[in-house]
Chain A
Amino acid sequence: SQQGEEDPQALSIQEGENATMNCSYKTSINNLQWYRQNSGRGLVHLILIRSNEREKHSGRLRVTLDTSKKSSSLLITASRAADTASYFCATDAGQGAQKLVFGQGTRLTINP
């Protein structure tokens, strides 16, 4: 069954605006990761946040994690047309090389 639920399923904003996507999960985790998928392409790893971290930044990306609510958010600031893609959260619940359990993704469209 799908661990992560992403919200919204689709988001359309104007270039320059900020985009926020949310992800909820069900079980305890070791870390949570966000990936981007451009249409018809593979997944690109964006950022990983560990269960003992609350916030992490990477360039225009800001990720928060609330383990008490089992939720995470991805904020993209000053969006660009090139940010148009699907964004997926994925959780890694086990020790060692455990599988990733993905959310269903948010389709982000940046309008010029």
Chain B
Amino acid sequence: GEEVAQTPKHLVRGEGQKAKLYCAPIKGHSYVFWYQQVLKNEFKFLISFQNENVFDETGMPKERFSAKCLPNSPCSLEIQATKLEDSAVYFCASSQAGVGYTFGSGTRLTVV
């Protein structure tokens, strides 16, 4: 069936290195969301897109985090100069008209 594809599944970075995560939303879904889950607990909203436009970025740490959703490319979440506290599972979700979100399986980022 249709799924939100996230790559890579696991990513290990040394502190200070860059990390880039990818998300291919379900075809036809115009909304994409990124969430961060630390220690299997709370899901923290980071950013959402409507097509290639930023819809809500209130959860994004401004200094080191950036994200894009360009036409005909997977969406991406990039963390510059990673810190230990960035270690988490990052989930992407997509939806059509904001209802019925489908989540990807996540990328586990470990910063050492």
- List residues of chain A with CB within 8 A of the CB of B42: 2, 102, 104-105
Residue of A nearest to B6 (CB): A42
Task: Give the docked Cα–Cα distance between A37 and B41 (Å).
Answer: 11
Partner of B41, one of A35, A96, A97, A104: A104
Q: Does A41 have its Cβ within 8 Å of any Cβ on chain B?
A: yes
Q: Which of B30, B97, B106 has the most CB of A within 10 A?
A: B106
- List residues of chain A with CB within 8 A of the CB of B106: 41-42
A99 in contact with B41 (CB, 8 Å):
no
Partner of A97, one of B35, B43, B97, B104: B97
- Known A-B contacts A42-B105, A99-B48; the reply to A86 vs B40 at CB < 8 A is yes
Q: Using a Cβ–Cβ cut-off of 8 Å, how many residues does chain A contribute to the interface with B?
A: 25
Distance of A59 from chain B, by nearest CB (Å)? 17
Residue of A nearest to B4 (CB): A42
Q: Does A68 have its Cβ within 8 Å of any Cβ on chain B?
A: no
Task: Give the docked Cα–Cα distance between A48 and B56 (Å).
Answer: 22
Q: Is the interface of A mostly helix, strand, loop or mixed?
A: strand
B45 in contact with A101 (CB, 8 Å):
yes
Which positions 4-46 of chain B face chain A at CB distance < 8 Å?
A: 30-31, 33, 35, 40-43, 45
Q: Does A57 have its Cβ within 8 Å of any Cβ on chain B?
A: no
Partner of A99, one of B50, B59, B91, B97: B59
Interfacial residues, chain B to chain A (CB-CB below 8 A): 30-31, 33, 35, 40-43, 45, 48, 50, 55-56, 59, 91, 93, 95, 97-106
